[in-house]
Chains A and B, each alone.
Chain A
Amino acid sequence: SQKIEQNSEALNIQEGKTATLTCNYTNYSPAYLQWYRQDPGRGPVFLLLIRENEKEKRKERLKVTFDTTLKQSLFHITASQPADSATYLCALEPLASGTYKYIFGTGTRLKVLA
């Protein structure tokens, strides 16, 4: 079946360390992949967009990689802070899709410990 997998369990890391979140997909050839942050009770906030012909994208302490061969995207937060604690979602648009446009993963809950 068509789906996106993210670490289903919460990820706890120590402040100052690098957090690495994984987004794996099957049966897609996405042209675009996005990462979002969502806090409880609020709408997602866009973080980064990466295109299929880009291997890596950076924004301040954030870095996203996109490996179309492995069908995987990694999301890194360097020098993590307690304020980075949230749920992080990846989303993609398949190049050839039926009615399943704009597919989101279930998210990984990150907790940064002070």
Chain B
Amino acid sequence: KAGVTQTPRYLIKTRGQQVTLSCSPISGHRSVSWYQQTPGQGLQFLFEYFSETQRNKGNFPGRFSGRQFSNSRSEMNVSTLELGDSALYLCASSQGQGAMQETQYFGPGTRLLVL
């Protein structure tokens, strides 16, 4: 089985722009979670989607949004980028009971640099 894939792997944007990141989960997985990882704050939960619905949400501003498609693929969008949004964005998939209740498989991440 192919693992979780994320595109693009690297991205450079400037302040004020918006960005869309994509995640393809493992085949058959219905839950996709997104995380932001920075050296200062560590790994922080953004949101979780299951069957095209946002099931859980972390403590991030509304500039961060996401969606899930019927094939379980997911995208996250960050609007009006700020310097502090520079981070590694990780996507993880699981079968569907809930990210902490079962094995989560992480993708390699998208490294975003905001200038």
By a beta-carbon cutoff of 8 Å, the part of chain A in contact with chain B is 31-34, 36, 42-46, 49, 89, 91-93, 99-107
Q: B83-109, CB under 8 A of A: which get 1 and which 0? A: 000000010100000111111111111
Across the interface, name the chain A residue whose C-beta is closest to B57. A99
CA distance in complex: A34, B56 (Å): 18
B58 touches A99 (CB 8 A): yes
Q: Which of B14-22, B43-51, B65-73, B74-82 contacts A (4 or more CB under 8 A)?
A: B43-51
CA distance in complex: A95, B100 (Å): 11
Known A-B contacts A43-B106, A43-B107, A99-B57; the reply to A93 vs B101 at CB < 8 A is yes
B45 touches A104 (CB 8 A): yes
Known A-B contacts A89-B43, A101-B45, A104-B44; the reply to A43 vs B58 at CB < 8 A is no
Q: B16-35, CB under 8 A of A: which get 1 and which 0? A: 00000000000000000101
User: Which of A33, A36, A49, A101 meets B48, CB within 8 Å?
Assistant: A101
CA distance in complex: A114, B39 (Å): 28
B92 touches A43 (CB 8 A): yes
Known A-B contacts A44-B90, A49-B102, A92-B100; the reply to A104 vs B42 at CB < 8 A is yes
Shortest beta-carbon contacts, A-B, top 5: A43-B106, A93-B100, A104-B43, A102-B45, A106-B42
6 contacts between A and B (CB under 8 A): A34-B100, A45-B106, A93-B98, A99-B59, A100-B45, A101-B58
